[in-house]
Amino acid sequence: MESLWPQVERLLLGVSKPARYIGGEQGAQYPEHGPGKVAWMLLYPDTYEIGLPNQGLQILYEILNERPDAVAERAYAPWVDMEAAMRAAGVPLFSVEQHVAARDFDVMAFNLSAELVYTNLLNLLDLARVPLHAGEREPGDPWVIAGGHCAFNPEPLADFVDAFALGDGEELVGEINHAIAGWLAAPAPERKREDLRLTLAQIEGVYVPALYTSSYRDGRLAGTVPVMPGVPAEVAKRTVTDLADWPYPARPLVPLTEVVHDRLNVEVFRGCTRGCRFCQAGMITRPVRERPAEQVKEMVSTGLAWSGHDEVTLTSLSTADFSGIEDTVREIIDDPVHEGRVSVSLPSLRVDAFTVGTAAQIQKVRRTGLTFAPEGGTWRMRQVINKLITEDDLYSAVDAAFSQGWRRVKLYFLIGLPTERDEDVIGIAELGKHCVEIGRRYTKSVTVVASVGGFVPKAHTPFQWFGQDTVDELQRKVNLLREHARTTRGLTVRWHEPAASAVEGLASRGDRRMGAVIERVWRAGGTFQEWSERFDLALWEEALAAEGLSLAEVAHRHRDELEPLPWDHISAGLHRDFLWSDWQDALAEAAVEDCRWTPCYDCGACTGFGLEHVVASPVPPAGGSQGTGQDLSVGGRIPVRLISGVRSGAEAG
Amino acid sequence: MAEARRVRFRFSKTGKVRFTSHRDVARMWERALRRSRLPVALSQGFSPHPLLSFGLALPTGCESRGEYLDARLDEARPDEVSFDALPSLLTPLLPDGVVVQAAGAVALAEGSLQQEVASCDWELEVFGLSGEELQERVEQVLASPSLIVHRERKGRPTEDDVRPAILTLAVTHDDGPEQGEQPIGRFRAELATHPRGVRPSDLLSAFGTDVVLARACRTHQWIERDGARFEPLSVSGLGTDPVVVHA
């Protein structure tokens, strides 16, 4: 195991932000590689500043390095100037800790959090000098594994990835490590890649694309089936039942240089049952599993003492829904060990005045901006997407924010949603206008920012059958919104590039044929496509045309109930008929309530795996109507089944 | 140290950590000081931050054996700080390569490091020239009445004469290790900080395009008063005898 540091060091005076390539973070580990230890390179296929804070990668980093039979180091995508310098000097991809070449690892494991990074994955394999296609790899080549939310439609990367890991990785990573260690224990001449492929395919939650084949009829996917007996027809995700068993990251990485979330993160729960129909994360991570409040507080105080940060974010898909969130936050802030110097941030506020009250308690000093996500511009639209925020909820939240000293309110919306009409788009401007008026009652310098993203349908959601808006249609709606917002001083509209949404749709719902498209875009130099200055729609259109495909066919076309979908052999637990009926409910503008506090809809996420929600509070949170579909001013009365034996952090140690 | 409410640290920054920026160094000190639980004073206002004052920014990629930082201590909190203990308390809380060499009290009335430091000593290594050739080039540079370099300031191209800031240059005739095939030239420089600081890269551009910086290390920073030079905090003091600069 040779260190490439002397070669790397000579490149660093000539590149931007060289601290991205030196490692040295607090919490970085320098494990000794050797026989009997599977060497993992954990990769985030975007820049260091984006990738370092990723919690999934940090969790696996610690779990693997705790094992006697594994070592793990990290790598990120070198920025274009560093890539050019590396290629010119003949320096291959290296880990940041010990600057070990990627080829010296047994596994290259990618975190896939966003579709637009797929060309970066190819680029990293190439920089690593690993054959691009899984089928071309020799026994001495690293195993290319990928996990994360994007793995729930693995097909666009099926040509390049040896195995996908679906769902929570805490337990799964150990099982994969065990399988690889067994394969590596055999003498080198006896190692065959097909043997380990079969072994991996037997592990619940592992999908080995080479063991499946897709067929096509009339230019469309007809199905994806195993190529041999003994390979499961469907691969289901893994779910960790009790977060209390996994208090990770225990020693979070503290970078030497600036990154996107430069603060302590503590995950308070996983999963979400609000049931927002556009939200893939909420669908594929069910059920809700809360971390015991005691353990949250413990992780906050040890994490702050360890890192020296003065700010902690309590992370989850909807942190205001954490049972007893106000008490937890208050106890953190009032803990004398923090000497009154710690601030807590909640990444997503529920839209109601009550939640703003919690925020006021947290942000005693820095009241700069608050963010809410109504997502739809009209009540009709919000029923379609099942984001049940009434106008009263929003206006009372905004009133509370401005009256308690905030000056800037940011509102997140999606456009291009199913059944959307122009009045729904204009409704965004109307909501924004009203929020500005509310703010004016309290302060002259009101800023309301409406941030709109183009909706991209995702696999395993009720909207997976929907043909997304074309680039032109999204642009027309952006223009319409701007026109209606223009006359309101204090209201600003921000929007994402519509062309990027279209390309995201290619990867989110494409089948195996998308692999050749991704490869063409990469060969044409299309890396870092999630960076607006690097994104190039023309590269994608040319590649699609060369492969006989089109945006119209892959992204903009509605699917019918019986059409085989590229991810039909992948299961997030959700029954296809549940998703279809939820899709029909959406079209009928019918909402469903949060199943955490209401009877089960049998979506499949719990029942299919013998799981239940792990929620400490039997009643919904007080406050607005969001998600519960009822007047909560009287308090919730719907009983919930609590999983038995929810443990406290103290017991879980 | 009852009266000393400002503590000055001297530290080195060598090895991999030299590729972090000045802002990065500020953040790593803020975190280390929080973890140390030293009573560092906070600013007032909406975003309270620790009252730290750094000296001249060290360019990203350059090493140093003489960096300085002043921290204001909180008057209201009990005085339990022993200077002797500070280097060994803080060094483990800082990244590898950042070593606290000394700490001492500085009177609040003293000027800031930014104002007071007049010049810095550097050890420089270059690719492209060594030995006699380097000696000749150094003599040319010293003989020039002016040396115009083009650089960017706040995003705008500017022209500066760096010659007045070059106080001394001296080739080091030691046969250090060579890197691969390329010969390495070594020399020392003393560069003034006012009115416009000169960085090693600016100095090198005055040498010509055939000379490429391989390594730069700031070894000393100097305060001048009444014709005499002082270091902002002498290492020999090692905290027991805090050096407040008086002529």
Touching check for B16 and chain A: CB below 8 Å? Answer: yes
- Label residue B93 by pLDDT band (50, 70, 90): very high
Yes or no, beta carbons of B35 and A18 under 8 Å apart: no
Q: How far is CA A156 from CA A148, A160, A504, A517, A567, in A?
A: 14, 9, 12, 9, 10
Q: Per-residue pLDDT for A483 more than 90?
A: yes
Q: Regarding predicted confidence, which is higher, A602 or B179?
A: A602
Q: Assign residue B98 the CATH number of its domain.
A: 3.30.70.580
Q: Which residues of B, range 81-140, sit inside 8 Å of A by Cβ?
A: 93, 95-97
Do residue B97 and residue B25 come from a single domain? Answer: yes
The model's pLDDT over B67-89, given as tens digits with 9 standing for 90+, comes to: 999 999 886 655 566 788 899 99
What's the pLDDT score for residue A64? 98
- Label residue A443 by pLDDT band (50, 70, 90): confident
What's the pLDDT score for residue A652? 31
> What amino acid is encoded at A255 in this protein?
P
Yes or no, beta carbons of A19 and B61 under 8 Å apart: no
Yes or no, beta carbons of B35 and A308 under 8 Å apart: yes
Q: Considering only the beta carbons, identify the residue of A26, A256, A305 that sits closest to B24.
A: A256
What's the pLDDT score for residue B195? 79
> Taking all residues of chain A, what is their mean pLDDT, rounded to a whole number?
91
The three-class DSSP label of residue B86 is helix
Do residue B52 and residue B93 come from a single domain? Answer: yes
Interacting residues of B244 by C-beta distance below 8 A, sequence separation 6+: B104, B105, B106, B107, B110
Q: Per-residue pLDDT for A245 more than 80?
A: yes
State the total domains in chain B.
Answer: 2
Yes or no, beta carbons of B31 and A254 under 8 Å apart: yes
Report the 10 Å Cβ neighbour count for B111: 11
Yes or no, beta carbons of B31 and A307 under 8 Å apart: yes
Residue B1 lies in a domain: no
Structure tokens at B41: 């004073």
The model's pLDDT over B194-227, given as tens digits with 9 standing for 90+, comes to: 878 889 998 998 888 888 899 999 999 999 888 8
Partners of B186 in beta bridges: B125
- Label residue A583 by pLDDT band (50, 70, 90): very high
Residue B73 lies in a domain: yes
Touching check for B229 and chain A: CB below 8 Å? Answer: no
Q: Give me the half-sphere count of Cα atoms (radius 13 Å) on the Cβ side of residue B29.
A: 29
Residue B247 lies in a domain: no
For residue B97, the chain A residue with the least C-alpha distance is A24
For residue B42, the chain A residue with the least C-alpha distance is A341
Nearest-angstrom CA–CA distance, A426 and A476: 12
Residue A200 lies in a domain: yes
Nearest Cα of chain B lies from the Cα of A623 at a distance, in angstroms, of 29
Structure tokens at B16: 């991999």
Q: Among A77-91, A92-106, A318-332, which stretch is predicted with the lowest mean pLDDT? A: A318-332
Q: Per-residue pLDDT for A632 more than 60?
A: no
Do residue B140 and residue B106 come from a single domain? Answer: no
> Taking all residues of chain B, what is their mean pLDDT, rounded to a whole number?
85
Nearest Cα of chain B lies from the Cα of A309 at a distance, in angstroms, of 6
- Label residue A289 by pLDDT band (50, 70, 90): very high
- Label residue A633 by pLDDT band (50, 70, 90): very low
Residue A106 lies in a domain: yes
Residue A184 lies in a domain: yes
Q: Among A105-109, A335-339, A590-594, A619-623, which stretch is predicted with the lowest mean pLDDT? A: A619-623
Residue A227 lies in a domain: yes
Q: Regarding predicted confidence, which is higher, A371 or A142?
A: A142
Do residue B124 and residue B196 come from a single domain? Answer: yes
Q: Per-residue pLDDT for A645 more than 80?
A: no
Enumerate the residues of chain B whose CB falls inside 8 A of the CB of residue A22.
16-17, 19-20
What's the pLDDT score for residue B111? 82
Q: Assign residue A108 the CATH number of its domain.
A: 3.40.50.2300
Q: Per-residue pLDDT for A552 more than 90?
A: yes
- Label residue A365 by pLDDT band (50, 70, 90): low
Interacting residues of A571 by C-beta distance below 8 A, sequence separation 6+: A234, A235, A236, A237, A608
Touching check for B216 and chain A: CB below 8 Å? Answer: no
Yes or no, beta carbons of B19 and A18 under 8 Å apart: yes
Full domain range(s) for residue A135:
5-236
The model's pLDDT over A308-319, given as tens digits with 9 standing for 90+, comes to: 998 999 999 988
Partners of B218 in beta bridges: B64, B122
What's the pLDDT score for residue B77? 58
Report the 10 Å Cβ neighbour count for A633: 10
Partners of A410 in beta bridges: A371, A449
Q: Per-residue pLDDT for A642 more than 80?
A: no
Q: Per-residue pLDDT for A15 more than 70?
A: yes
Q: How far is CA A545 from the centre of its chain?
A: 30
Residue indicated by tokens 């997976």: A464
What's the pLDDT score for residue A634? 36
Enumerate the residues of chain A whose CB falls inside 8 A of the CB of residue B177.
none
The model's pLDDT over A124-133, given as tens digits with 9 standing for 90+, comes to: 999 999 999 9
Beta strands in A279-368 (DSSP E): 289-290, 311-315, 343-345
Residue B243 lies in a domain: no
Residue A525 lies in a domain: no
Do residue B12 and residue B100 come from a single domain? Answer: yes
- Label residue A368 by pLDDT band (50, 70, 90): low
Cα dihedral A177→A183→A185→A187 (10° resolution): -160
What's the pLDDT score for residue B196? 80
Find which of A357-371, A584-598, A627-641 is predicted with most confidence, using mean pLDDT: A584-598
Do residue B42 and residue B110 come from a single domain? Answer: yes
Yes or no, beta carbons of A24 and B97 under 8 Å apart: yes
Q: Assign residue B175 the CATH number of its domain.
A: 3.30.2350.10
Residue B49 lies in a domain: yes
Residue A88 lies in a domain: yes
Full domain range(s) for residue B213:
117-225
Query: Which run of H or E residues covers position A197?
Result: helix A193-201
Nearest Cα of chain A lies from the Cα of B230 at a distance, in angstroms, of 31
Q: Per-residue pLDDT for A261 more than 90?
A: no
State the total domains in chain A.
Answer: 1
Yes or no, beta carbons of B23 and A258 under 8 Å apart: yes
The three-class DSSP label of residue A504 is helix
Enumerate the residues of chain B whose CB falls inside 8 A of the CB of residue A305.
35
Q: For testing the chain B interface, which of A10, A256, A259, A342 should be mutated: the one with the most B CBs within 10 Å? A: A256
Mean pLDDT along residues B228-242: 61
For residue A259, the chain B residue with the least C-alpha distance is B24
- Label residue A457 by pLDDT band (50, 70, 90): very high
Q: Considering only the beta carbons, identify the residue of A19, A254, A307 that sits closest to B19.
A: A19
Nearest Cα of chain A lies from the Cα of B20 at a distance, in angstroms, of 5
Q: Per-residue pLDDT for A628 more than 50?
A: no
For the purposes of burial, counting CB atoms within 10 Å of the CB of A215, is it exposed (0-12), middle (13-18) or buried (19 or more)? exposed
Q: Among A257-261, A519-523, A635-639, which stretch is predicted with the lowest mean pLDDT? A: A635-639
Q: Give me the half-sphere count of Cα atoms (radius 13 Å) on the Cβ side of residue B156.
A: 4
* Nearest partner of A276 among A612, A594, A619, judged by Cα: A594
- Label residue A641 by pLDDT band (50, 70, 90): very low
Residue A269 lies in a domain: no
> What amino acid is encoded at A175 in this protein?
E
Do residue B36 and residue B125 come from a single domain? Answer: no
Q: Per-residue pLDDT for A408 more than 70?
A: yes
Q: Per-residue pLDDT for B233 more than 90?
A: no
- Label residue A653 by pLDDT band (50, 70, 90): very low
Residue A601 lies in a domain: no
Yes or no, beta carbons of B61 and A12 under 8 Å apart: yes
- Label residue B243 by pLDDT band (50, 70, 90): very low
Nearest Cα of chain A lies from the Cα of B188 at a distance, in angstroms, of 20
Enumerate the residues of chain A whose CB falls inside 8 A of the CB of residue B42.
341
What's the pLDDT score for residue A578? 95
Do residue B16 and residue B95 come from a single domain? Answer: yes
For residue A13, the chain B residue with the least C-alpha distance is B61
Report the 10 Å Cβ neighbour count for A515: 23
What's the pLDDT score for residue A477? 98
Mean pLDDT along residues A234-248: 96
Yes or no, beta carbons of A24 and B16 under 8 Å apart: yes
- Label residue A123 by pLDDT band (50, 70, 90): very high
Q: How far is CA B95 from CA A548, B12, B28, B54, in A?
A: 53, 11, 8, 17
Residue B19 lies in a domain: yes
CB B114 within 8 A of CB B232: no
Beta strands in B128-227 (DSSP E): 148-153, 156-161, 166-171, 184-192, 212-225
Enumerate the residues of chain B whose CB falls inside 8 A of the CB of residue A9.
16
Q: Per-residue pLDDT for A603 more than 70?
A: yes
What's the pLDDT score for residue B235? 54
Residue B246 lies in a domain: no
Q: What's the predicted TM-score (pTM) here?
A: 0.92
